[in-house]
Amino acid sequence: MDKYMSRGVSSQKEDVHNAVDHLDRGVFPGAFCKVIPDYLSGDGRYCNIMHADGAGTKSSLAYIYYKETGDLSVWSGIAMDSIVMNTDDLICVGVDTPILLSSTIGRNAKLVGGEVIKELINANEEICQFFTDNGVPMYMTGGETADVGDLTRTIIVDTTAVTRIERDKIITCENVACGDVIVALSSFGQATFEKQYNSGMGSNGLTSSRHDLLCSEYRTKYPESFDNSMDESISYCGKFKITDTVPELPLNIGKAILSPTRTYAFVIKDILSEYRSKIHGIVHCSGGGQTKCKKFGRNVKYVKDNLFEIPPFFKLIHDTTGTDYREMYQVFNMGHRMELYTDAKTAEQVIAIAAKYNIDAKIVGHVESNENGNAVEITSPNGIIKY
């Protein structure tokens, strides 16, 4: 993890977790999101969930792509990234209720013009309508746009989501146990609700993919797009220009990295409408990649020995950079970004529901008991990796 850490990024966020470990974990301590009592109404049958996340450094790449091509549509993708990083965490605790959103945008106004802000705001409204039309009611409540050039090199796009749900609907990972199978929903391809092929990138590992794939031209042309204290050996050290194409991908390099984060909200809602009681846990493989699950459950080992074949985009990163698989499985989702823990029979139904959306799904592993705390074991192309 030396290269990833030297870029000022941590896939595990140890310092953040150490800072919050002593805090109250809410009504369901083992849940993927913090769940609190319904303080808004005082109704003991309900609970509240507020969640905040964003597009991260993906917006820096969108900035370069827009400057190079004039393509405003990349900002719609950034809005989707910011929203989905919230909604797809919420669905991990069983949320199927209306979601309220607030947008926070911080920009360097000297470099990022009003046309970008307009595109982001309009995209937020369109995305809310898109979710609502697909059975997941979502409403934009407003937000904040701040000109903070002293703090922000280009632009930061974040979202806060709020919902209210019955306590007895909450799914926690406390029920994950030996004998469960792990059903994965793929992150790549083209779902029925997507307009084009999705590389599977999501919104994690962007600092790594951007610098490892893009060439040094962007280091000098767009110094505002990265941390200038970063050593040249790890900043824009790749071989590609942002509009280069490769035979393995139907998108150019920039658009492949910028593929809007796929939402699984529609699939999960359908699954929960029939099989909620059979789902023992759901994990969004975001920060931490395929090791994210290690933080959930108790005294279990997640054995992932039947993962999807590595998608073309992640294979390109590996082959181009030589990054070892131990780091890649911790930084990137490597083919699936959502996993459910259930019994083998229910797994078949989950896979069938995903297929209706043209999302590949399969059993990628199972859960074993582990007396010495949680662990993850991944079968990679180079053998078994243990975390």
Q: Which range (8-17, 49-58, 278-287, 307-316) has the least confidence? A: 8-17
* 96 neighbors 166 (Cβ within 8 angstroms): no
Give exposure, 151-187, as e/b (b: 16+ Cβ within 10 Å): ebbbbbbbbbbbbbbeeeebbbbeebbeebbbbbbbb
Pinpoint the alpha helices (H) of the chain.
2-6, 14-20, 58-69, 74-90, 114-133, 206-213, 217-221, 253-257, 265-275, 312-321, 325-331, 344-356
Q: What is the pLDDT of residue 25?
A: 81
Average pLDDT over residues 283-290: 96
What are 323-343's pLDDT values in tens digits? 999 999 999 999 999 999 999
Q: Which range (10-14, 63-67, 278-282) has the least confidence? A: 10-14
Q: Which CATH superfamily is domain 2-202+258-386 in?
A: PurM-like, N-terminal domain (3.30.1330.10)
Measured between alpha carbons, how far is 312 from 326 in angstroms, rounded to an integer?
A: 18
Question: In whole angstroms, how far apart are CA 24 and each of 29, 47, 160, 199?
Answer: 8, 15, 20, 38
Round to the nearest angstrom and report the end-to-end CA distance of the chain: 13
Mean pLDDT, the chain, integer: 94
